Amino acid sequence: MITVIGGIEHKGFGTGAWALVAEDGTTYELLDCPRDLREVGLHVKVQGTLNDDVMTLAMIGKVLNVNSFEIL
Partner 1 sequence: MRKLLILCLFCLGIGFAISNFQGLATTGEFDSLVIDFKENIASTEIDRQLQVLTGEYHLAPRLNSQFSQSEQTYTVKGDRALLDKLRASSLSQDVEAIEPNYIYRATVAPNDPQYSKQWHLHNIHAEQAWEENRGKGITVAIIDTGVSQVPDLAQTEFVAGYDFVNNKVNADDDNGHGTHVAGTVAQSTNNNYGVAGVAYEAKIMPLKVLSGSGGGTVSDIAEAIRFAADNKADVINMSLGGGGESQVMKDAIEYAYKKGVVIVAAAGNENRDSASYPARYARVISVAAIDAQGEKAEFSNYGAGVDISAPGGGNGSKIWQETIDPSTNLPVIAGFQGTSMAAPHVAGVVALIKSTGVTAPDEVLAVLQQSVRKIDTDPQNYYGAGHLDAAAAVKLAQKGKITFNDFFRWLRDNGYLNLKFWIDGGAIALLPKVAMVLGSYLLAFLIRNYLPFGLPLFSGLIAGSSGLFFLKGFYIFDLPQAPFRVLGSSIPELGNAISGNSILNPLFASVLIPVVLLVACWSLPQGKWFAVGTSLGVAACLFVSAAISPSVWWLGDGGMARGFLIVNGLLCFGLARFAARGDSQTV
- Interface stretch with partner 1, choices 1-9, 36-44, 45-53 (CB under 8 A): 45-53
Q: Does 63 bind partner 1 (CB under 8 A)?
A: yes
Q: Does 58 bind partner 1 (CB under 8 A)?
A: yes
Q: Does 48 bind partner 1 (CB under 8 A)?
A: no
Quote the least distance from Cβ 72 to partner 1, whole Å. Answer: 25
Question: Coil, strand or helix: which one is 36?
Answer: helix
Cβ neighbours, 10 Å, residue 9: 17
Task: Note whether 27 and 8 are within 8 A (CB).
Answer: no
